[in-house]
Structure 1
């Protein structure tokens, strides 16, 4: 592969990392690399300062990268940015080096180039990351995979809705673990297309991957999972709660954001349960006060 791409390196407070990632993704980044205390740092790669994170965004051209840099500087005044031109083959190697396989409960989840390391006794999900989030190696995805595994073990044949499906990993996992109807929604057309490709690869083409708004998705679901940003979870709370028949699982939330997100859903009638935590990332679990038919 020939040619170049642009890498935008951003140093900023760790508490602002998730929102910055969302902004960069929306600004046209081909992919993101995140370095924080939750992620192992590759040898020879600069680590973030204490209390900070480093987000590296990759862009196809300088114009898009410069526009993203300006937008980020306005939204996050304390961020320090550096824009560099890189050789295209370096991009490929850097991207793959930061995607790892994981084992959660009955599941093995990993990229195609790591399939040889899959454990034979696990349900194997092969997820091609490309330009969408969610290969299983991030704490928020792992936390959700654990919840999906536990719920499906106790409720075989349940219906599942995955809000903000990304690569489709949670929806595909639910189907492979015995779910009946499974729907994955995302407002990013690239993610929807990739999720459909991943569903085909994993033998679950019947999973409905959709760009529909939540209000256009029919019915309620036994399990609803949403692994997205805290502010978006609060904004979408009424629409998400309207889809919950029994259980709701939320992730993409840092520990200091937990109270605000939890309150948004409790105020709409759900009952909070003990969740789970990996480092600074928390998973919030809820159930409906009574099962809704």
Structure 2
């Protein structure tokens, strides 16, 4: 990795903050900093204007950062976007301070430097937040962790498929909570590598982690998880639905996208169940 990093700063209306965060994650950001009215600002940083948020994505490759900049400008023409180069040392500790541990049901999920604060009785997942999405502190991940905890409590030994696994957090959680066969897939090689590292660090070596297409994954699964963007969920609906034996949990969906995502899966014969939400984010639960 180079001695500098690139920061892509996006200033835009606060209601679009979650969407641009998702875009930057998908575009390969190493980490994100979000400045809005919901969280305290770090000392010395510039606050957003009234009604706006500042979202900063960190990258270590200029080409990746410039591609992300183009995507943001196309998707959010009203945003003010700037790309700058900074010494890597300046942001590393600040970035760590932005990663928070979470306690969801029986699960504690957090970074290695916060393990000492994990509750004694919790099932611990140590996730190294590097270049993939899913450290537990994002609402969509937390919503899915709650679903995994609830399902595994009632279905010990269930088989689980995690589509778009990112850091592998959901697959690892399922395994630690007593799942049988667990398969995790992602089309991003960096995510696959990181998920495999986290799998080893958490003592769950028998999870099948790979970059396989869904059509190459054998069998159906009691619980299928897909925490990815709404348009991808709709696009992959026939492939994802075909893998569901009992329960399907979808996340990465904003409230205004819910109806379209639900319709895509109901058309394929799945029955809608009560889901959950956190802020603008919704979790969609369905049953075969």
Q: Same fold (TM over 0.5)?
A: yes
Q: How many residues align?
A: 287
Cα 1:48/1:170, change in 2 over 3 Å: farther
Change (3 A) 1:2 1:201: same
- Alignment partner, residue 82 of structure 1: 82
- Report whether the alignment pairs 1:162 with 2:162: yes
Within 5 A, what are the aligned runs for 1:14-163?
14=14, 16-36=16-36, 40-44=39-43, 45-49=45-49, 52-62=52-62, 64-163=64-163
Whether contact under 8 Å (2:161, 2:184) holds in the other structure is: yes
SS at match of 1:74: helix
1:5 match: 5
Change (3 A) 1:16 1:230: farther
| TM-score after normalising by structure 1 | 0.91
Tell me how far apart the structure 1 counterparts of residues 73 and 90 of structure 2 sit (CA, whole Å).
26
Aligned-partner Cα distance in 2 for 1:54–1:221: 40
SS at match of 1:172: helix
Matched, 1:263 2:254: no
Cα distance in 1 for residues equivalent to 2:47 and 2:268: 41
Normalised to the residue count of structure 2, the TM-score between the two structures is 0.92
Structure 1 alignment gaps of length 5 or more: 289-293
> Aligned in 2, Cα 1:97/1:192: closer, same or farther, shift over 3 Å?
same
Judged with a 3 Å threshold, the aligned counterparts in structure 2 of structure 1 residues 179 and 96 are, in CA distance, closer, same or farther, namely same
**What is the rounded CA distance, in whole Å, between the counterparts of 1:89 and 1:255 in structure 2?**
38
Q: Is the 8 A contact 1:164 1:185 kept in 2?
A: yes
Note the C-alpha offset of 1:20.
3.5
* Kept after mapping to 2: 8 A contact 1:19/1:229: no
Could you say which residue in structure 2 is the equivalent of 1:237? 237
Sort the Cα spacing of 1:257 and 1:14 in 2 relative to 1 into closer, same or farther, 3 A: farther
The separation in 2 between residues aligned to 1:224 and 1:34, in whole angstroms, is 30
1:53-72 C-alpha deviation (Å, 9 max, x unpaired): 43211122545433432342
Secondary structure at the aligned position of 2:72 is classed as helix
**RMSD (Å), alpha carbons:** 2.1
Report SS of the residue matched to 1:77.
coil
Partners of 1:241 and 1:206 in 2: how far apart? 24
- After TM superposition, the structure 1 stretch with the greater mean CA deviation from structure 2, 179-188 or 13-22, is 13-22
Q: Is 1:278 aligned with 2:278?
A: yes
Task: Please tell me whether residue 199 in structure 1 is matched to residue 199 in structure 2.
Answer: yes
SS at match of 2:103: strand
Aligned residues of 2:222 and 2:246 also touching (Cα < 8 A): yes
User: Relative to structure 1, is the Cα distance of residues 276 and 50 closer, same or farther in structure 2, using a 3 angstrom cutoff?
Assistant: farther
- After TM superposition, the structure 1 stretch with the greater mean CA deviation from structure 2, 24-33 or 110-119, is 24-33
